[in-house]
Chain A
Amino acid sequence: EVILMESGGGLVQPGGSLRLSCTASGFTFSNYWMHWIRHAPGKGLVWVSRISSDGASTTYADSVKGRFTISRDNAQNTLYLQMTSLRAEDTAVYYCVRDWGYSYASNYFDPWGQGTWVTVSS
C-alpha cells in the first residue's frame, strides 16, 4: 500500500519559517516526481511545487517562488518543503502528492497524503 505521511506543520508567526516533511512508503520513491499542493480554508486546491525523481529539477508557483524550497532525500524516501518568509495567505493544509507518472511527470496527482496544517498568524 502506498502511504505518504506529512509532518512538520503548525502555528508560525508572519515572517517565520517551517519545514514540512513527507515520508513515503509502499513504492519506489526514487522513480517518481513529487509535488506539494495546498488547500486554504474556503478556497480551492493550489499546486505549490514539483520536484523531479532525481531532485535535479524543481518548479514553483509564482506565489511561493523565492520563499519556498522543495527537496528530497531518495535514500530516506522523504520529501521536504522548506518555507520561509511565511505570510497569512500561506495558511492552508499542505498535501504531499505523488505524480501519477512512473519515471516521468504526468502532472496529475495520485495518491495524496492526509495533509499537514500550516497556520501563519500572530
Chain B
Amino acid sequence: ETVLTQSPATLSVSPGERVTLSCRASQSVRTSLAWYQQKPGQAPKLLMYDVSTRATGVPARFSGSGSGTEFTLTISSLQSEDFAVYYCQRYNNWPPWTFGQGTKVESK
C-alpha cells in the first residue's frame, strides 16, 4: 500500500503569506494525485486533481506541482478563508486509494 506523508503537520501563517505544503509518496503515483481542503465542521472539498488541475471554482492562488513521489500544494497569498486542513490523496492503480494525514494551516 502506498503511504502518503504530508509535512509539516501544522503551519502557522499570516494572511498574505505564501504557503507551501508537501506530500511525499512511498512509491511513485505518477501524476495521480489530488488535494482536498477541509474547514472545521465541513466535509472535505476537492481542490486539485492530476497534480495541478484546479477543481471548479478553486481560486488561482492555489497551484499544485510535482510527479512521482514528491508533490507540493502552494497558496500564493493566503486569504483568511484558506485556514483549513489540507489532505493529499493518490488514485493510481488499485485500491485502497490513500490519503495523507493532513496539514493544518492555522493563523499565526
Identify which of A45, A61, A62, A107 contacts B91 (C-beta below 8 A): A107
A59 on the B face (CB < 8 A)? yes
In the assembled complex, the CB of A48 is this many whole angstroms from the nearest CB of chain B, namely: 9
Q: How many residues of A contact B (CB 8 A)?
A: 22
Q: Are B102 and A47 in contact (CB under 8 A)?
A: no
- In whole angstroms, what is the CA distance A107 to B87 when docked? 15
Identify which of A61, A62, A108, A113 contacts B49 (C-beta below 8 A): A108
- In whole angstroms, what is the CA distance A93 to B98 when docked? 17
B66 on the A face (CB < 8 A)? no
Identify which of B44, B95, B100 contacts A112 (C-beta below 8 A): B44
Known: A44-B101, A100-B49, A113-B43. Contact between A59 and B91, CB under 8 A? no
- In whole angstroms, what is the CA distance A60 to B95 when docked? 8
B interface, over-half SS: loop
Q: How many residues of B contact A (CB 8 A)?
A: 20
B96 on the A face (CB < 8 A)? yes
Annotate B31-53 by CB proximity to A: 1 below 8 A, 0 otherwise.
00010100000111110010000
- In whole angstroms, what is the CA distance A62 to B97 when docked? 12
Q: Are A114 and B43 in contact (CB under 8 A)?
A: yes
**Given the complex, which residues of A lie within 8 Å of B101, measured CB to CB?**
43-44
Interface positions of A from 78 to 114, Cβ below 8 Å from B: 95, 100, 106-114
Identify which of A44, A61, A106, A110 contacts B45 (C-beta below 8 A): A110
**Given the complex, which residues of A lie within 8 Å of B100, measured CB to CB?**
44
A11 on the B face (CB < 8 A)? no
A72 on the B face (CB < 8 A)? no
10 contacts between A and B (CB under 8 A): A43-B101, A45-B44, A47-B96, A47-B98, A61-B95, A62-B96, A107-B97, A108-B49, A110-B45, A112-B43
- Given A47-B95, A110-B45, A112-B44; 13 other pairs, CB 8 A cutoff: A44-B102, A45-B44, A45-B87, A46-B96, A100-B49, A107-B91, A108-B46, A108-B49, A108-B97, A109-B36, A111-B43, A111-B46, A113-B43
